[in-house]
Structure 1
Amino acid sequence: MPELLAPTVRLRLAWLTAHREWGPGRHEDGFGLSAADSVESPAGFAEWVTALAKDRVVYRWLVEHGQVLGGIAVRAGPADYVRWAGQVGFGIRPSARGRGLASWAVTRILPEARRLGLSRALLVCQAENLASAKTIERAGGVLEEIRHTGHGAVRRYWIAAGEPSTG
């Protein structure tokens, strides 16, 4: 059974294996990795994991039997990036796709969205990414629109997160 775990240095080698599976330049939403992050060395990885814990974004890794299968993040706030990328972003490593893990993770991350004060969350995917669209719909996402942007067309979905936490 998979788990959603906070990023940890304990899973460094498992995370690196998942990261390498995507290959160079591939998109891994949900990990919070930027081009400036140096994750290959133990010290760089530890620095990155520490920075993730201090971020306003909630990051979780999908882990099963010691393998990192993907990542998911909840972002709150009115930032342009959130409006563009959505409040929930996820990625599943290629070898773990097709098992329903992303839909499972989306439904399991919604309590974090509530704790961040969200009663609903925006999820965005490229219009042609039908696998992500089906994932979001399976998790309860309702299509708002297909919006044409400078980066291509995107599907914008909303999913109910429930009543925000008050404490």
Structure 2
Amino acid sequence: MPELIAPTTRLHSAWLEARDEWGPGLHEDGFGLEPADEVDPPDGFAAWVARLTDDPTAAGTDRGCTYRWIVEGDRVLGGIALRHGLDGQAPQFGHIGYGIRPSSRRRGLATWALGRMLTEAWALGLDRVLMVCAVDNLASVRTIERHGGLLEGVRDTEHGPARRYWIKAWGAS
């Protein structure tokens, strides 16, 4: 049974395995990986995890975002991030971004994780959440629409055209 957990150094090897399955690059939005992050050595991984988990001693702590890893046992299946406001990266990437490693796709994990993060968004007081995905990412389109996402439109971004959806809080008008 999958669960959402805060990033942890305990899963260093498992996270590296997931990253290696994706191949080179910054991977998916839900991990909060920046170009300068050195995650291979244990100390670099620990510094990155500290930044993601709001450790007040970590340089560059991201207090405006909640990160969760999608895990099953000791296996990292994906990541999901909730940006708390509509500033910073949220206008470009949305309030919530996620990614599921290739071998774990088509199991409904993104839909499941998005539902849990929407609950966290409503608890933070957000009455609607912006979701952004590539025009040709039909799996994300289905995931967003399953949660009531309404298409605002398509905009050009530095990564190509992207669909923009809004999901209203349950019971919000």
Considering the TM-score relative to the shorter chain, is it more than 0.5?
A: yes
The aligned residue for residue 153 of structure 1 is 161
2:119 to 108, 111, 130: 111
The aligned residue for residue 46 of structure 1 is 46
The aligned residue for residue 88 of structure 1 is 96
Letter in 2 for 1:48: W
Percent identical residues: 59
Letter in 1 for 2:151: L
The aligned residue for residue 59 of structure 1 is 67
Conserved 8 A contact 1:140-1:159: yes
TM-score where L is the length of structure 1: 0.91
Taking a change above 3 Å as real, the CA distance of residues 150 and 37 of structure 1, as seen in their structure-2 partners, is closer
Pairs aligned (count): 164
Residue 83 of structure 2 is aligned to residue 75 of structure 1? yes
In structure 2, distance between residues paired with 1:137 and 1:163: 17
Conserved 8 A contact 1:30-1:89: yes
Question: Is the partner of 2:30 in helix, strand or coil?
Answer: coil
Q: Which runs of 5+ in 2 are unaligned?
A: 55-61
Conserved 8 A contact 1:141-1:158: yes
In structure 1, distance between residues paired with 2:112 and 2:53: 23
2:150 to 107, 118, 142: 142
Deviation at residue 26 of structure 1 after TM alignment: 5.4
The aligned residue for residue 121 of structure 1 is 129
Question: Is the partner of 1:46 in helix, strand or coil?
Answer: helix
In structure 2, distance between residues paired with 1:149 and 1:41: 33
TM-score where L is the length of structure 2: 0.88
The aligned residue for residue 97 of structure 1 is 105
Deviation at residue 151 of structure 1 after TM alignment: 3.5
Conserved 8 A contact 1:70-1:91: yes
Deviation at residue 147 of structure 1 after TM alignment: 2.0
- Structural RMSD (CA): 1.7
